[in-house]
Chains A and B, each alone.
Chain A
C-alpha cells in the first residue's frame, strides 16, 4: 500500500506507522525529519515550506513505486508538511515496511535522499534578521 500526503497540519508518526503495519513484515524503518534550531551556527526561528502540490504528490508516488519495485516493500507511507513550522516540529515522515529489515533501511534512505532531489517542495529558513531559500544558491 502506498500512502502519500502533503498537509498543512502537524504530521503524526503513528499514522505513518499504522499505514505500514503488516503481519508479514519483519520490520519497518521510519525516518522523521525535524526542524533544527540552527543551520551552520545561525539560529533558526521558523521554517516555511512551499510546494507545487500536485506535482510533489506525483513525484512522491514515483519514489514509493520505485521502493515497491526495487526493494519489494510491502508498504510505503510518505507525509510532508507545508506552511510555517516551529523548531522541533516534523516536516517529513517516511515509513517503509519490508519482509526483511535490510531492505527497509536502504529503501527509506533512498526515499528521503530522492525526495530532497526531485520533489517540488521548497524550504525557507527564517532567521532573526532575514530569510533564505535553502539550497537556492551555491
Chain B
C-alpha cells in the first residue's frame, strides 16, 4: 500500500469540504484511479467539472503511476488574473 496527499482547491475543496486528504492506495495505483475516488467522494458535486492532474506540483500530460508520499492535486479550472 502507498499513501498520497491530495491537495484540494476551489471547487474541489468546496465539494469535499477539506483542503487536504491522505489516501491509501494499492501499490501501482495510477492518477486516474485516484481521480475516480475523489470524484466519488464529492458525491456528484464535481460532475461536469474538468480537472487537470498535478503530481508533486507539476501538471502531468497523461496518467501516471503514483508513489508513496506523492502530492497530488486535481486542479479545477483556474481563475488567476
A is bound by B: no
Residues of B bordering A, CB below 8 Å: none
Residues of A in contact with B (beta carbons under 8 Å apart):
none
